[in-house]
Structure 1
Amino acid sequence: MDFGKVTVLEAIDFSFPVEPLANQQVLARQKTSTYLKPQAYLGCPTWTNKSWLGTYYPVGLPAKDFLRYYSQQFNTIELNTTHYRIPDEATVSKWCAAVRPDFKFCPKWPQQISHEQELQGVESATTAFCTSLRAFKENLGMSFLQLPPSFGPDKLAVLENFLTQIPREIPLAVEVRHPDWFTGEQAFADLAALLEACAVSTVITDVAGRRDVLHLRLTTNTTFVRFNGYRHDAIDYARADAWLKQLVIWLEQGLQTVYFFVHYEDILHSPKVIRYMLDKLATTTAIPVSQEGSKPISQPIQGSLFN
């Protein structure tokens, strides 16, 4: 993830902000009405990872089988390919056939809707994308709408008009990046109120160069986190520990679903952090966590001198 990228980490304050008081009200309200057994979905932003051949994928695995093996390692994916092209039903069906039944796709809304037209005059594209999302059926996780840095609080009414057109059965989270959302308190409070009213979740982004987007505000009983690592183990694992602590608090208060996506420039590092977090969640929460996955797999022996 290039957003918030820096070259020197040591000067960055990675501590969490004070958690918004409104979170307790959101979770308490949701817990009394819809509380079920919590679930956690941790994954990566892509499955086409050739660098995993020989570690997380078998040596020589054809690209057409990458998704099948990815879904054996993780239970979700941040599906960024939908940002560039709306997949047809046949493509979605092919993807779903390749994964296990409990796997969740989290598609990113098309850039035509979010960035090029900034939610205006997008009725046809929105209808087409919602049709595509429905094709995922039980494998649909949380779709997410990333608004561009140019989309500020002055366009809140545009966002409101757009959200009222989205069918309630489409799970949706919204990510904002314009700095004015985080200047003062009122702009983001107004945004959060709108998202709550529309039953839409927030995207919480944890990057080094934009600590303001780490707002920790929940608007539903689902959290959607995009975590960017920097190949600095002491810092990255301390940040992972901070997230684990926060997630445990939220789960105790009624959080139902965790979506947590780990980004690294070198994708080889993502599975290690995910496995670390899964092991910690297994010992600190009641979330069912598989002991398999996010681990290097046994590779076939090609032969030896003693055969």
Structure 2
Amino acid sequence: MKFGQVDDLDLVDFSLPTLDKITKTNLSSLRKDNNLKFYFGAPGWSDVKYKGIVYPKNTPAKKFLNEYANQFNSIEVNSTRYGTPKKHIIDRWVNSVGDDFKFSMKIPQVVTHRKDINDYTAKIKTEEFISAVDQLGDKSGINFAVMAKYFKSSQFKELESFINFWPIDAPLAIEFRNPSWFEDSVREEWQELFYNKNIIPVITDTPGRRDVLHFNLTNKHLFIRYVGDFNHPSDLTRIELWTEKISELVNLGIENIWFYVHQPGEKRERILFFYNELIPNINKLLNTKIPLLNNYSYM
């Protein structure tokens, strides 16, 4: 993900924002089930650079998803931005992973990047996407919409209509990119809408757009899209910052954590080293026993 990438990471303040009163109130109202889940993964499984590091070196392309699912328990499916997969594709995905694996699919751009996100075509394409989500069954994770950078807060009513059309039994997360959505008064308005409609706000931690890094949370889900670079020491600092923040949020009522890491295109295999630093922190924090990822460069 190139969104928010910068040339000099040394100039970025990577501190995480504090929680506001509204978020604390929202989280305090949640029923505590004490059923903590940590879902983690990458934005795709088809990168050939994974061979010999994330996957065994002789893995054929048709087995990439199988090997991916042996390492991670979830995936952010970015490829669906180009269109909803056909039924036979979904069937292949479902049969390639274990029972507890989750697919978080991106809503196609033909919906999110339209001039009118509620016109006839948008609704037809949304229904097609929801049918694919239903086909995933228990392996469906969090569906997410990345709104176009030109989708402004002045289009709040359009956002509300889009949410009202979405089925209430299908999880939905929304990411804003236009700065107008992060003005204080506007932020409170959509946070209230999301809370009332059980919508999950996407938290995007990317170096060059610190405004989209927020904690206007609304329910038990914490959905994080993290843009890093494990070749730079800042990733180690950020891992510690996120561990502290996740601890705070779990104590307030967050129970489902979705953490998807984006590394630079030429270094995507570095995701293995990122997670092998983060996972021990998560295991200690959540009392889980997530195994470290296999590093096939040593095998």
Question: TM-score when scaled to structure 1?
Answer: 0.92
Where do 5+ consecutive residues of structure 1 fail to align? 301-307
After TM superposition, what 4+ stretches of structure 1 lie above 6 angstroms from structure 2?
none
Where do 5+ consecutive residues of structure 2 fail to align? none
Native 8 Å contact 2:27 2:254 kept in 1? yes
SS of residue in 2 equivalent to 1:181: helix
Q: 1:118, 1:27 → 2: CA distance?
A: 33
Partner of 1:277: 278
Partner of 1:154: 154
Partner of 1:136: 136
Number of paired residues? 295
SS of residue in 2 equivalent to 1:136: helix
Higher Rg of the two aligned structures: 1
1:198 aligns with 2:197: yes
Partner of 1:125: 125
Amino acid in structure 2 at the alignment position of 1:52: Y
Q: 1:252, 1:70 → 2: CA distance?
A: 31
For residues 95-154 of structure 1, what are the alpha-carbon distances to aligned partners after superposition, in whole Å with 9 as ceiling and x for unaligned? 011001100000000000001345121111111111111011010010100001101110
Structure 1 residues 2 and 298 mapped into 2: Cα distance closer, same or farther (>3 Å)? closer
Native 8 Å contact 1:275 1:295 kept in 2? no
Q: 1:40, 1:269 → 2: CA distance?
A: 20
Partner of 1:241: 240
Amino acid in structure 1 at the alignment position of 2:229: Y
Q: 2:14, 2:116 → 1: CA distance?
A: 31
Amino acid in structure 1 at the alignment position of 2:270: H
Partner of 1:92: 90
Amino acid in structure 1 at the alignment position of 2:203: I
Partner of 1:186: 185
Native 8 Å contact 1:118 1:147 kept in 2? no
Partner of 1:303: none
Partner of 1:22: 22
Amino acid in structure 1 at the alignment position of 2:160: E
Identity %: 28
For residues 28-49 of structure 1, what are the alpha-carbon distances to aligned partners after superposition, in whole Å with 9 as ceiling and x for unaligned? 22225xx241100111001012
Native 8 Å contact 1:23 1:219 kept in 2? yes
Partner of 1:222: 221
Q: Which has the larger share of helix?
A: 2
Partner of 2:107: 109
Partner of 2:259: 260
Deviates more, 1:242-251 or 1:18-27: 18-27
Native 8 Å contact 2:230 2:274 kept in 1? no
Deviates more, 1:5-14 or 1:132-141: 5-14
Question: TM-score when scaled to structure 2?
Answer: 0.95
Give the RMSD, CA atoms, in angstroms: 1.5
Native 8 Å contact 1:272 1:295 kept in 2? no
